[in-house]
Structure 1
Amino acid sequence: MTREPTIFNEARLRAAMERGGIDLVIVRGNENSRYVSEFFHNGGNLGYRPFTAFYFRDPALKPALIVPAVDLHLAMTQSWIEDVRAYAMAEFFTDVDAHFYVDFFEAAKDVLKERGVSGMVVGTEGENLTSGFRQRLDALLDGNTIVDVSFTLEIVRMVKTPEEIRRLKRACDITILAHESFREAIRPGATGADLHRATCARMIEEGAHGVNFINIGCGPENSFAAHAPFPNDHVMQRGDFAKVDMGAMYLGYSADFVRSYFLGETTERHRDIWSWLNETQLELGHWMRPGMTGGEVFDRGYSLISRHLNKFPREFVGHGIGLGSHEQPRMNAVNRTVLEAGSVICLEYSYYHDGVRHHTEDTFLLKDDGVEHWTAACGRELVVSM
């Protein structure tokens, strides 16, 4: 049964291909292949099992998707692409009565031959491909002009479709609810592991399809850490610091959200730093408009925080989010990517003081006339009462 894509913005990619004179795009990277095919495969992290989509600018040339045999039936069910082919990998036959190619390149050779790919401009992910795969793919594409479309794909994916926005908003809502459980678990006698369990359980309870990531700083052994991957057994007491950077997963899309706390009490300097970070972040978020560049947002954000904190240490103050955790537009000093309505943007500020890393992050949907602040309802009080 055929269907129209709901995540993949076909018109946006085709327009980008028109501007660049690109006839065919071949994508193998996890995020790009999922985006174009809408098949949310879990095996692409295994380098020897490529999942690869072929998309042509000419609508008369139908797209194709090549997957390992073990994933063929699910790909045929999930992808909007009708021509799904498989190569022998993990299994030599399945419940689908179909020809399995010896390897990916045999399948790709047939796709290219059937569609008369010769003398075309072909876009690949260039340096983002593994060297061995790229060499064999380049050889297969001999007689065509090969260009790197990695950045083009980033810009295409920057503006979200309504279905992408729905999924991202749901992931964000779940993460906010899970944060309530994190905050409630901060009390004397609780450990970092207790905070972790409470947060993850709430994500699943609220309908998440997984915990994309959760980094908890709890107590002096990792209060300074940006990304502490494992919960610790530090027993919290008055004056301790706790922070969580986390994102629930919903239908392949994740949130990204941070808050920081002290238990019971802290110093005036800590309170000032936290206030400045949050005030600046919110002012910058509500200032954003389509047409600005990532660099302009960074420059303003850096100028705002520099009123309070000299030599602010961050290289960026925000990023887009989608299938990837950090996407365009990236808010750093050199980024000239133009912000567009339909982008989902995370702004974040952090600062080190007295052994802890203050960190706050909020999510905004950029609209034609301003922003929709998705994390506005989540409190930002620094001190949790005992």
Structure 2
Amino acid sequence: MRRRPEELAKMRRAGRVVAEMHEATRAAIRPGVTTAELDAVAREVLERRGARSNFLGYHGYPAVICTSPNEVIVHGIPGPRVLEEGDIVSIDCGAIVEGYHGDAAYTAPVGEVDEASRRLIEVTEASLWAGIDQLRPGNRLHEVGRAVQRVAEAAGFSVVREYVGHAIGTAMHEEPQVPNYWPGNPGPLLKTGMVFAVEPMVNAGGPGTVLLADGWSVVTADGSRSAHFEHTIAVTDDGPEVLTLP
């Protein structure tokens, strides 16, 4: 769906709230903090900005952010888990402003991390930006996944297949989906006004995933670490506009 200028203005406002949630949670990440404390930081931003969470209550999800440490790929539920020196943690945040959604994620080190973890984070973020660069009028949507896959696999990592990006607007998850790999066909033609959440999930080991008993947390099948980056992006005549940047 192509969004009108007045709709994009609302999505920019939602994106700014998400960016502020990123800044606040990133500043709070340190050894000894619990994932529940990070959720509280994000809640405070939403309350102060008068925005609603698009995660809280979504199919029963109990928090306003997802906190996914180490081998947890996505959808980790905040709770008593204490982050330790050398961990990495992925933080996924969303906000609704005037009925329009923003959605973005990042992975951060907890204190000092090893070189392998640092490289995983850097490559995953680079793969996101490679995908974003494809969001131009006249391109095809699945060029995003081709670009993500090329960057991640060139570094020796693997791309998760079961969980993908998506269009976004008046709902958090809209069609079409945005694979983080080349699915074998070029996908829809990109047009000005379309908005997508691009979110590569990259594993240090194999691409396999396992859903835990809590019904939400998804972990790597081989126990390797995983990183996750995401932005909400509008397709414009001037190229991709990232709506969730600080």
- The one of 356, 363, 367 equivalent to 2:236 is 367
8 Å CA contact 1:215–1:246 kept in 2: the answer is: yes
2:90 — aligned with what? 243
3-state SS of 1:292 partner: coil
1:272 — aligned with what? 119
1:357 — aligned with what? 226
Relative to structure 1, the CA distance from residue 231 to residue 331 in structure 2 (aligned partners, 3 Å threshold; closer, same or farther) is closer
Aligned counterparts of 1:199 and 1:231: Cα–Cα separation in 2: 11
CA apart distance, 1:165: 0.9
CA apart distance, 1:319: 2.4
Aligned counterparts of 1:291 and 1:363: Cα–Cα separation in 2: 19
Greater CA radius of gyration, 1 or 2? 1
Of residues 248-257 and 314-323 in structure 1, the stretch that sits farther from structure 2 once superposed is: 314-323
**Offset from partner CA, 1:100-133 (integer Å, 9 cap, x none):** xxxxxxxxxxxxxxxxxxxxxxxxxxxxxxxxxx
2:191 — aligned with what? 340
CA apart distance, 1:185: 1.9
CA apart distance, 1:293: 1.9
Greater RCO, 1 or 2 (C-alpha within 8 Å, sep 6+): 2
3-state SS of 1:237 partner: coil
**Offset from partner CA, 1:24-63 (integer Å, 9 cap, x none):** xxxxxxxxxxxxxxxxxxxxxxxxxxxxxxxxxxxxxxxx
2:54 — aligned with what? 212
Matched-pair identity in %: 29
Letter in 2 for 1:327: E
Aligned counterparts of 2:124 and 2:145: Cα–Cα separation in 1: 14
Letter in 1 for 2:41: A
CA apart distance, 1:316: 6.8
Relative to structure 1, the CA distance from residue 235 to residue 282 in structure 2 (aligned partners, 3 Å threshold; closer, same or farther) is same
1:99 — aligned with what? none
- The one of 150, 154, 158 equivalent to 1:303 is 150
Aligned counterparts of 2:68 and 2:134: Cα–Cα separation in 1: 33
1:193 — aligned with what? 36
CA apart distance, 1:271: 1.2
CA apart distance, 1:171: 0.8
Aligned counterparts of 1:310 and 1:185: Cα–Cα separation in 2: 28
**Offset from partner CA, 1:275-317 (integer Å, 9 cap, x none):** 1111122133123211222223323332333222355333576
1:283 — aligned with what? 130
Aligned counterparts of 1:269 and 1:161: Cα–Cα separation in 2: 43
Q: Are 2:52 and 1:224 aligned? A: no
Relative to structure 1, the CA distance from residue 262 to residue 304 in structure 2 (aligned partners, 3 Å threshold; closer, same or farther) is closer
**Offset from partner CA, 1:123-167 (integer Å, 9 cap, x none):** xxxxxxxxxxxxxxxxxxxxxxxxxxxxxxxxxxx1011222111
3-state SS of 2:159 partner: coil
Aligned counterparts of 1:173 and 1:304: Cα–Cα separation in 2: 28
8 Å CA contact 1:280–1:301 kept in 2: the answer is: yes
CA apart distance, 1:173: 0.3
**Offset from partner CA, 1:158-195 (integer Å, 9 cap, x none):** 10112221111111101111222211222233211111
Letter in 1 for 2:19: I
CA apart distance, 1:320: 1.6
User: Structure 2: which 5+ runs fail to align?
Assistant: 56-63, 205-222
8 Å CA contact 1:191–1:218 kept in 2: the answer is: no
Aligned counterparts of 1:291 and 1:329: Cα–Cα separation in 2: 16
Relative to structure 1, the CA distance from residue 171 to residue 362 in structure 2 (aligned partners, 3 Å threshold; closer, same or farther) is same
8 Å CA contact 2:34–2:83 kept in 1: the answer is: yes
8 Å CA contact 2:168–2:195 kept in 1: the answer is: yes
1:50-61 to 2 correspondences below 5 Å? none
1:254 — aligned with what? 101
Aligned counterparts of 2:237 and 2:82: Cα–Cα separation in 1: 48
3-state SS of 1:212 partner: coil
TM-score (norm 2): 0.78
Aligned counterparts of 1:300 and 1:239: Cα–Cα separation in 2: 29
8 Å CA contact 2:68–2:74 kept in 1: the answer is: no
- The one of 172, 192, 195 equivalent to 1:325 is 172
Relative to structure 1, the CA distance from residue 217 to residue 319 in structure 2 (aligned partners, 3 Å threshold; closer, same or farther) is same
Aligned counterparts of 1:344 and 1:374: Cα–Cα separation in 2: 9
8 Å CA contact 2:123–2:151 kept in 1: the answer is: no
Query: CA-atom RMSD, angstroms?
Result: 2.3
